[in-house]
Amino acid sequence: MISRKVILTGSFGVGKTSLFRRFIKGTFSEKYITTIGVKVDKKVVEIRGEEVSILLWDIAGEVRQDKVPKSFFLGASAIIYVFDLTRPSTYKNIGVDMKILNDILPDAIIKVVGNKEDLILKEGTDNVIDIAALDKIKKEVAIHVDATTSAKTGDNVEQLFSNLAEEFIA
């Protein structure tokens, strides 16, 4: 079995803890609870007959924040940088954050993920994603977006972690 440490990071309120809960426990809560410090849990996924243990760290706060010890990042094989598709302030400084993350963990896989996809719906629909709006947001981010997810509906969450596990065994 392969075991890898994965960090969830990004601005406050982007849905890191919700992604954590959706992936680890398959649940979602509307309640906003600020993460203090770090939450750690693991889940084993099977990829092409091989088991991959993902040790997921949900880190409170932002990359640039002094209150987040750099030691939380050490030993991580991957970082999932989460931003909120509905709040431009959560992705305006993404370039600066990527530089910091690359300095801390130059060999780690970094996935940039836009969360809250369920809130980017075509007007007048309940479940059709507004592709034009999504494309506009991705251009504004100005860095490659690896995935868009919805912790609320579960859309693309398992796929995000399966893709990451694939990279670990490749």
Q: Which residue in 54, 67, 45, 43 sits closest to 7, CA to CA?
A: 54
Between 41-45, 100-104, 162-166, the lowest mean confidence (pLDDT) is in 100-104
Single-letter amino acid, residue 84: D
Region 45-63: what's the mean pLDDT? 89
Report all structural domains of the chain as residue ranges with CATH numbers, in order of start.
Answer: 2-169 (3.40.50.300)
Is 0.85 topped by the overall pTM? Answer: yes
Task: Provide the pLDDT for residue 27.
Answer: 92
4 φ, ψ (degrees, to nearest 5): -135, 140
3-state helix, strand, coil in the chain (%, to 5): 30, 30, 40
Least-confidence region, from 18-27, 28-37, 73-82, 102-111:
28-37
